[in-house]
Amino acid sequence: MNNQHFKSINIGNVTIKGNLFLAPLAGFTDKAFRSICIDHGASFTYSEMVSAEALARKSEKTKKLTERAENEKLLGIQIFLPDADTAKRAIPELLRTNPTVIDINCGCPVPKVVKNGAGSALMRTPEVAKEIIKTITGETDIPVTVKFRTGWDLDSINYLHFAESAIKGGASLLTMHGRTRSQGYSGEADWESIKNLKSNFDVPVVGSGNIFSAEDAVKMMETTGVDGVLFARGAMGNPFIFERTKNLLLGNESPPIDSMDIKIQTAWEHISKAVHYKGEQTACREIKKQLCSYTKGEKGSAALRNKIVRAETLKDYKEIFEEYLSL
């Protein structure tokens, strides 16, 4: 394997020493999970999607989403918002979070986000997206990046025009998910459009969509020429995907790092970190779907998940994991 694909990326005045990114995933990429992914080789991580309006209103709950894990030297804060006015009001609080990068979400397809003109609704209004980016880049030297889709639907594929508008606004990096908003997460991601995007612009381009293994990530890099890859659903319960990809890109021997024993051990590390950051009661309640994701496709996993969803304390989880490993 030619290791030219594993490289540093310059995002404005920031250098990321690697090109394997963890996507912002609501309800998943909290401090604990981001920390686990960094331990397993993620080059750069993004916060969960943060409401710029809530930031502007100084919501304490929202501020917590912007806090760094202890091993997180770099952090991209991803915000969603409908217009430049919201950006202007949010900037003071946003800058207090000391982000490495500010990412504008123009790809989220969720109705409650889209109906307010945010997320992938901005694909329909590239000029508004440009003004949002321009407003933020006019107030800070922190690089602004943008995550978007190929278009609103198959009748309005406008990613090249959108990307051009974003760059004119001052975007330093483009991340594209190879699906339209109307596709959601169904069907195949359009890697050909990602390749086309990369060939049309000089700023770094990161590709997303249908990356569920290290082999997928390498294939995307080789076939599209992107500067980096963004792991989203493929990283759920699978933080090992980062080190497997790095090993594959560098031609290193990849040990069996995702056996069920190691998955359970990592799940335990995950909940331990969550308890450290959130307290036992909150962590044990919120982490169920994250822990269940480690068990996908494994022998006896249905019964294991059944126990996980009923657990209430750290002691409960410990007993469940110990029992499973003793089978």
Measured at the CA of 186, the angle between CA 288 and CA 220, to 5 degrees, comes to 95
pLDDT tens for each residue of 44-60:
999 999 999 999 999 99
Q: Residue 1: what pLDDT?
A: 43
d(CA 53, CA 62): 10
Domain boundary among 217, 250, 283: 250
pLDDT tens for each residue of 64-101:
999 999 999 999 999 999 999 999 999 999 999 999 99
> Could you tell me the residue range of the domain that residue 317 belongs to?
260-326
Instruction: Judge whether 77 lies within some domain.
Output: yes
Domain boundary among 250, 277, 301: 250
Whether 83 and 191 share a structural domain: yes
Q: Is the pLDDT of residue 161 over 70?
A: yes
Domain boundary among 189, 216, 250: 250
Whether 12 and 160 share a structural domain: yes
* Residue 292 and residue 309 in contact, taking contact as beta carbons nearer than 8 Å: yes
Domains of the chain: total: 2
Instruction: Judge whether 200 lies within some domain.
Output: yes
- Active-site entry in 37, 108, 284, 292: 108
Whether 266 and 242 share a structural domain: no
Residue-wise DSSP of 282-299: HHHHH-HHHHHHTTTT-T
Whether 147 and 267 share a structural domain: no
| Structure confidence at residue 260 as a pLDDT band (50, 70, 90) | confident
Class of residue 225 by CB neighbours under 10 A (exposed 0-12, middle 13-18, buried 19+)? middle
Instruction: Judge whether 199 lies within some domain.
Output: yes
Q: Name the pTM for this structure.
A: 0.93
Q: Residue 64: what pLDDT?
A: 93
Helices (H) and strands (E) in the chain, counts: 15, 11
Segment 153-166 mean pLDDT:
95
pLDDT tens for each residue of 104-124:
999 999 999 999 999 999 999
Tokens describing residue 151: 């278009």
Whether 118 and 155 share a structural domain: yes
Q: What CATH number does the domain containing 283 carry? A: 1.10.1200
The DSSP call for residue 182 is: T
Instruction: Judge whether 255 lies within some domain.
Output: no
Q: Say which residues have a Cβ less than 8 Å from residue 164's Cβ, sequence separation at least 6.
A: 126, 201
Amino acid making up residue 200: N
Q: What is the largest CA-CA distance in the chain?
A: 59
Whether 56 and 199 share a structural domain: yes
Whether 142 and 289 share a structural domain: no
In the predicted model, what is the mean pLDDT of the chain? 93
Whether 132 and 246 share a structural domain: yes
- Torsions phi, psi for 222 (to 5 deg): -70, -35
Whether 219 and 200 share a structural domain: yes
Q: Is the pLDDT of residue 148 over 60?
A: yes
In angstroms, the Cα distances linking 196 to 189, 199, 201, 278 are 14, 5, 9, 43
Ordered alpha helix ranges (H), the chain: 31-39, 52-56, 60-64, 84-96, 111-114, 126-137, 159-169, 191-200, 214-224, 240-250, 260-278, 280-286, 288-293, 301-308, 314-326
Q: What CATH number does the domain containing 159 carry? A: 3.20.20.70
Measured at the CA of 161, the angle between CA 156 and CA 167, to 5 degrees, comes to 145
Beta-bridged to residue 10, according to DSSP, are 15
284 is catalytic: no
Mean pLDDT is lowest, of 127-136, 275-284, 316-325, for 316-325
Whether 308 and 192 share a structural domain: no
Whether 242 and 282 share a structural domain: no
Whether 267 and 246 share a structural domain: no
